[in-house]
Amino acid sequence: MKKIGFIFPGQGSQYVGMGMELYNNFSESREVFNKADKLLGFKISSLCFSASKEDLDKTENTQPAILTTSLAVLKVIEKYGIKPSAAAGLSLGEYTALVSSGALDFEDAVPLVKKRGKYMQESVPEGKGTMAAIIGLGSEAVCDACREASSLGIVQIANYNCPGQIVISGEVKAVEYAMKISENKGALKTVKLAVSGPFHSSMLKSAALKLEKELESICFKDFNTKVISNVTADYMEKEFIKDILKQQVMSSVKWEQTINKMLQDGINIFIEIGPGKTLSALVKKINRKALVANVEDLQSLNKTLNLLENYK
């Protein structure tokens, strides 16, 4: 039996031109971009389609841009009657998942993620924090490396992406030391990431507190589709959404655990909705037998529709 899970990308998946093909071919997609333009007071469509990479990569621009693009793609998928059994999103993608589930209104989500991006950007002075990927080392060994390196400052696990791929985050010296310790413990590779801050670490506490204030005025609704939280790797409950979104900014993203939860609950087709194929690749690394697809343009849309039609 076909059981679909929708997965929504986070920051880092953006590229100039994202969403343009579907915008040009589907009125449903155009409508989403036009709504976002009005909500933000500037043309997010122009930012996505033709701005400089530098402008698109600014965190407070990136977040509403990816959210809008992903939801514009989702509207096209919904036009074909494709519905998921559950949804999840990586970091920022969790907001897209919440909108897709009916729990969060698009009108609230777009300005909210713009502010989220701004608060995250402003929370740590540039150059003070960083992130790094640790490749080929188990989570326990990475935890130990972070513990040892914390003598030099804050460093902790930011993302459990998939087996053998963990991202750490924190103060520059502590992260660099944790990278060296991880290499000594047998990591195949450590790579410092080109990011503007130590996301998903306790250094983002000030951003979390500002976000908490913004969330006070937002009314969340009942879920039409279940959404799995980054923080707990379990299904969200309406009354805890605000606290989870506050915690999520400064907590580890349990992506591997989230996908395993979906697999345990019988999801057998994962559709990545929005720019890029990062999440599709991670799902395959978590479970090689999982069936994955992505939708971001006409070619990938047709490929996904064919896959679903021929699925036995």
Model confidence pLDDT, tens digit, residues 218-273: 999 999 999 999 999 999 999 999 999 999 999 999 999 999 999 999 999 999 99
* Rounded-to-integer distance, Cα 101 and Cα 223, Å: 6
Residue 73, pLDDT > 70, answer yes
Q: Which of 13, 70, 100, 200 is catalytic?
A: 200
**What does DSSP assign to residue 215?**
H
Q: What is the mean pLDDT of the chain?
A: 95
Residue 305, pLDDT > 70, answer yes
* Rounded-to-integer distance, Cα 58 and Cα 38, Å: 20
Q: Which of 91, 123, 169, 196 is catalytic?
A: 91
| Secondary structure (DSSP) of 56-114 | HTSHHHHHHHHHHHHHHHHHHHHHTT---SEEEESTTHHHHHHHHTTSS-HHHHHHHHH
Confidence of residue 312 (pLDDT cuts 50, 70, 90): low
pLDDT of residue 71: 98
pLDDT of residue 82: 94
| Catalytic annotation present for 91 | yes
pLDDT in tens, 268-282: 999 999 999 999 999
Confidence of residue 207 (pLDDT cuts 50, 70, 90): very high
Question: Nearest Cα to 253, choosing from 5, 8, 6?
Answer: 8
Domains of the chain: 4-123+203-310 (3.40.366.10), 129-195 (3.30.70.250)
pLDDT in tens, 120-161: 989 988 889 999 999 999 999 999 999 999 999 999 999 999
Question: Collapsing DSSP states into helix, strand and coil, what is residue 246?
Answer: helix
Residue 107, pLDDT > 90, answer yes
Residue 180, pLDDT > 90, answer yes
* Rounded-to-integer distance, Cα 30 and Cα 214, Å: 28
Contact yes or no for 239/205 (Cβ under 8 A): no
Phi, psi of 242 (to 5 degrees): -60, -45
Residue 59, pLDDT > 90, answer no
State pTM to two decimals: 0.95
pLDDT of residue 32: 97
- 218/2: higher pLDDT: 218
Q: Could you tell me the CA-to-CA distances from 225 to 20, 48, 282 in Å, in that order?
A: 27, 28, 23
